[in-house]
Amino acid sequence: MKELLMGNEAIAVGAMAAGVRVVSGYPGTPSTEVLETVAKRNNGSVYVEWSVNEKAAMEVAAGAAYAGARAMVTMKQVGLNACSDPLMCVNYVGVKGGLVVLVADDPGPISSQTEQDTRHFGRYARIPVFDPTTPEQAYQMVQDAFELSEQLGTPVILRPTTRICHSCASIDAADSVKSEEAGGHFEKDPRWVIFPKLSYMAKRKLFSRESELSKQLSYYGGNTLTGSGRLGIACGGVSAAYAKDVLKELNADPRVLTVATPYPFPDDPAIDLLKNADRVLCLEELDPVIEDALIHICGREKIKTEILGKRTGHTITAGENSHEILRRQIGEFLGIKVPEAAKQDENAPELAVRPPILCAGCPHRASFYAVKQAMRGKKAVFSGDIGCYTLGNAAPLNTTDTCLCMGAGFTVPQGLERAGDDAIHIGFVGDSTFFHSGITGIINAVYNRTDMIAVVLDNSTTAMTGHQPHPGIGKTMMGDVSRKISIEKVLNALEVTSVRVVDPLDLAAAVEAVKQAAEEKGVRCIVFRSPCIAIVKPAKKMAVKDDCRKCQKCIRELGCPALSLENGRAVIEPSLCTGCGLCAQVCPFDMITEGGVQ
């Protein structure tokens, strides 16, 4: 039956059709819905877990594949860095059951710290990479990836990008989960223990299989060469879809090489293209991977074709591609005049700037505000981390001075302090991030006797990626009730100086907790605990009294999207207000009160 499936859903359904038995991962936009869809459609035959971080997820999946089960691990591109240690070893060790490493890349970047091209990782680890152009192709590719993984006894990467992950298409998908013998069996064998001798042998094999695999993949259905003439286009991923639509629009039919397996590169059709074209334009997002592969082939095969792309300034080196961008590039390349991309009308009314912001009623706003109030008049540096609370960097809160990567909210301040900066160093980490990689930072600080305040912003969910459970919640992805791991008990067990658990929406208590912690030495921890507004129903709403004194303090200091100015006085938008009451505590004239129960 045809179904409207998002790319991530299609990958999940494809994996289940391929008989996947174990799926692990860590949430990260744009990859999250893959694992969630497996969990949602699970008939009980697939084990699925949100792991504590990507490294744990990769190792769980590797173990399952050692035992002969088909396994998949899911993450976003920066998550792959957190698990590159196991990946760069499991490529040497190999697998018995198919192991698909699903890594979603984020050109733009739209929802990530960096643009990062996972295709490099495939080449670096010498494991095959599949790169889909559409959701329907991703559905087929995940199944091909499992087949190839088992055939070679090696992990295989499937690398969709945001526009594949988060776009839907009508897909004729199997509605059943492939049922096989569930019980995996681990056979003891020296091959599962990585040792220098084994690695030496494995490295030689990884290297020598490259050309053989390139031959095999040259005839993979997704790697195609079409068209005619002395001009060629080489493309992959969603750029191949844009190119196809643009060529149809321009009624042009140059040679087009579509690369579905950027590693190992499909050399045969590429050589065919290069020998028959004088110039080739490379269209791809992120890094010049296809472009470099073609330049390499030209050198090796002594072909004099000119390769145009990012390295020659013909295409963009950062950000997403689009129909308009490719139309301009292809038009110029083929010598076809194309219409200019439309510009915003100069006479249009001025448009609002809408950067992403913390939701109305978000407890993080209260936490940041309390810390800021407590540090007023003092020198303090705020180190943030990855999650909704990164948005604490925006005005008027301005409480994120550094943000690097998962877990760094607790470790960067340690370096700032060691460098001799005499400010009070305060690190912020969310609850899911605490379990992901925050705990090691606390241990590091306690062990090395660093002075800092470590704040855990506990909103009882993994909010930014869409509310996934984590070890502090007491629920697993299989729907089972699990032991809730208490953040404060973990902190106490790590022998920190002090642990205070406070509701940040109680402003006076929250400010007091920060002030007290600032007076102490060593690692002082504060857990600000209040649930994400998206997981609880608001009990009340606030309203501004008619005689608002128009001081605008609530607006200037909180930046809550439910608050706005109307003729100089503050007004609260009832459809957005969650009744958190922070504004009422900030108002110096008691002009904000409960405005009725919902």
482 binds another protein (CB under 8 A): no
Beta strand 71-76 pairing with 592-597 = unpaired
Q: Which two tokens stand for residue 527?
A: 């857990």
Return the residue of 111, 199, 216, 276 that touches another protein, per CB under 8 A.
111
Burial of 48 (0-12, 13-18, 19+ CB in 10 A): buried
323 binds another protein (CB under 8 A): yes
Q: What is the largest CA-CA distance in the chain?
A: 82
348 binds another protein (CB under 8 A): yes
354 binds another protein (CB under 8 A): yes
Give the Cα-Cα-Cα angle 352, 356, 362 (nearest 5 degrees).
120
Return the residue of 327, 500, 524, 529 that touches another protein, per CB under 8 A.
327
List Cα–Cα distances, 219 to 41, 223, 225, in angstroms.
33, 7, 11
Taking the complex as a whole, the smallest distance from the CB of residue 404 to another protein amounts, in Å, to: 17
199 binds another protein (CB under 8 A): no
Rule CB under 8 A: which of 202-231 touch another protein?
A: none
* Phi, psi of 580, deg, nearest 5: -65, -30
Q: Which amino acid is at 115?
A: E
Q: Which residues contact 143 (CB under 8 A, 6 or more apart)?
A: 14, 15, 17, 18
398 binds another protein (CB under 8 A): no
Taking the complex as a whole, the smallest distance from the CB of residue 274 to another protein amounts, in Å, to: 25
Taking the complex as a whole, the smallest distance from the CB of residue 394 to another protein amounts, in Å, to: 8
Candidates 117-125, 349-357, 468-476, 582-590: pick the segment binding another protein (CB under 8 A): 349-357
Question: By three-state DSSP, how is residue 86 classified?
Answer: helix
29 binds another protein (CB under 8 A): yes
Return the residue of 17, 238, 366, 542 that touches another protein, per CB under 8 A.
238
356 binds another protein (CB under 8 A): yes
Taking the complex as a whole, the smallest distance from the CB of residue 589 to another protein amounts, in Å, to: 19
* Alpha helix (H) residue ranges in 357-438: 363-374, 408-418, 431-433
Taking the complex as a whole, the smallest distance from the CB of residue 349 to another protein amounts, in Å, to: 5
Entry field: residues in the chain: 598
Question: How close are the terminal C-alpha atoms of the chain, in Å?
Answer: 43
Return the residue of 55, 96, 159, 163 that touches another protein, per CB under 8 A.
163
Beta strand 592-597 pairing with 540-544 = antiparallel
DSSP 442-465: HHHHHHTT--EEEEEEE-SSBTTT
- State the number of CA atoms in the 13 A half-sphere of 404 facing the CB: 14
Rule CB under 8 A: which of 118-137 touch another protein?
A: 133-134
Rule CB under 8 A: which of 442-481 touch another protein?
A: 464-465
Taking the complex as a whole, the smallest distance from the CB of residue 243 to another protein amounts, in Å, to: 8
The smaller minimum CB distance to another protein, of residues 365 and 524, is found at: 365
Taking the complex as a whole, the smallest distance from the CB of residue 263 to another protein amounts, in Å, to: 24
Task: Provide the Cα torsion 538, 544, 545, 546; round to 10°.
Answer: -140
Answer whether the bond into residue 30 is a cis peptide, omega within 30°: yes
The smaller minimum CB distance to another protein, of residues 89 and 168, is found at: 168
Candidates 389-397, 406-414, 468-476, 493-501: pick the segment binding another protein (CB under 8 A): 389-397
- Phi-psi category of residue 167: left, alpha or beta, with phi > 0 → left and psi -120 to 50 → alpha: beta
Residue with tokens 């390769």: 307
579 binds another protein (CB under 8 A): no
555 binds another protein (CB under 8 A): yes
556 binds another protein (CB under 8 A): yes
**Contact (Cβ atoms closer than 8 angstroms) between residue 43 and residue 177:** yes
351 binds another protein (CB under 8 A): yes
The smaller minimum CB distance to another protein, of residues 236 and 471, is found at: 236
How far apart, in whole angstroms, are the C-alpha atoms of residue 317 and residue 308?
A: 13
541 binds another protein (CB under 8 A): no
Taking the complex as a whole, the smallest distance from the CB of residue 113 to another protein amounts, in Å, to: 11
Taking the complex as a whole, the smallest distance from the CB of residue 33 to another protein amounts, in Å, to: 8
User: Would you tell me how many other CB atoms lie within 10 Å of the CB of residue 578?
Assistant: 22
Taking the complex as a whole, the smallest distance from the CB of residue 564 to another protein amounts, in Å, to: 4
Q: Residue count at the site for another protein (CB under 8 A)?
A: 58
How far apart, in whole angstroms, are the C-alpha atoms of residue 138 and residue 469?
A: 27
How far apart, in whole angstroms, are the C-alpha atoms of residue 187 and residue 592?
A: 68
Return the residue of 14, 19, 25, 30 that touches another protein, per CB under 8 A.
30
Binding residues (CB under 8 A) for another protein: these are 2, 4, 29-30, 110-111, 133-134, 163, 166-170, 238, 240-242, 244-245, 322-324, 327, 339, 341-345, 348-349, 351-359, 388, 391, 395-396, 464-465, 555-556, 559-561, 563-566, 573, 575
